[in-house]
Amino acid sequence: MRTVKELRLAGLFAYLAALVLGLLFSLLVHVLLGGEGRLGWKGLNLYGLLEGLVFLLVFSFALAVASRAVRVPCLTLLTAGLIAPTPARRLARPLSRVASLEAYEGRGVVLLEQEGRPVGVLGLADHILPLEEVPSVEAEVAASELYPLFLRQPLVLVVRGEEVVGAIPREAFFRHLGI
């Protein structure tokens, strides 16, 4: 799972690579046409429009290829990493905590603690699920990276070290994606 910082860098590098490719192909067309193209402040002609069109096509195609290659959210890619994807900690909702099975009232998902340390999750199955069996991710992982987990699991825990920050239910995740 990639963190927000890694996705921002991947988006920046992919955007810059697409920009450089677009500029290089535009320069190649400019040279092939004898340097007659003008598209800008001093004038405009057909060769200049052709150079601009080549830039747009190559840049767009390179962005499309880059988005598939690095799997970065579209907004992060198009802003060259300036707009970061949502971290998992922002989607996580705190879980209620119980110290014993007798305190569990049977409503919702709760975190079972023993001696102040989380040991399992109640409310997902008919029995206690040990913490190791529930998928968990670090708080700084990008939420867009969690999609494969939610295809198999109804809930993902968000942790920071040994501390459980909260949980993301499948419905909340898909609502965040707009699905």
Q: Are residues 58 and 93 in the same domain?
A: no
- 20 belongs to a structural domain: yes
Q: Are residues 92 and 134 in the same domain?
A: yes
CATH assignment of the domain containing 166: 3.10.580.10
Q: Are residues 19 and 99 in the same domain?
A: no
Higher pLDDT, 35 or 125: 35
Kindly report, residue by residue over 126-160, the tens digit of the pLDDT.
777 888 888 999 999 998 899 999 988 889 999 99
C-alpha span between 46 and 48 (Å, rounded): 5
**DSSP codes joined into one string, 32-52:** HTTT---BSSS-B-HHHHHHH
Kindly report, residue by residue over 58-80, the tens digit of the pLDDT.
999 999 999 999 989 888 999 99
Q: Are residues 133 and 69 in the same domain?
A: no
Q: Which residues contact 72 (CB under 8 A, 6 or more apart)?
A: 7, 10, 11, 14, 66, 85
Q: Which of 25, 47, 78 corresponds to the end of one domain? A: 78
> What is the span of the domain harbouring residue 72?
4-78
- 159 belongs to a structural domain: yes
Q: Are residues 73 and 121 in the same domain?
A: no
State the burial class of residue 74 (Cβ atoms within 10 Å of its Cβ: 0-12, 13-18, 19+). exposed
Sheet containing strand 110-114, strands side by side: 96-98, 110-114, 117-122, 129-130
Total domain count, the chain: 2
Q: Are residues 10 and 59 in the same domain?
A: yes
- 111 belongs to a structural domain: yes
Q: Are residues 51 and 114 in the same domain?
A: no
pTM: 0.78
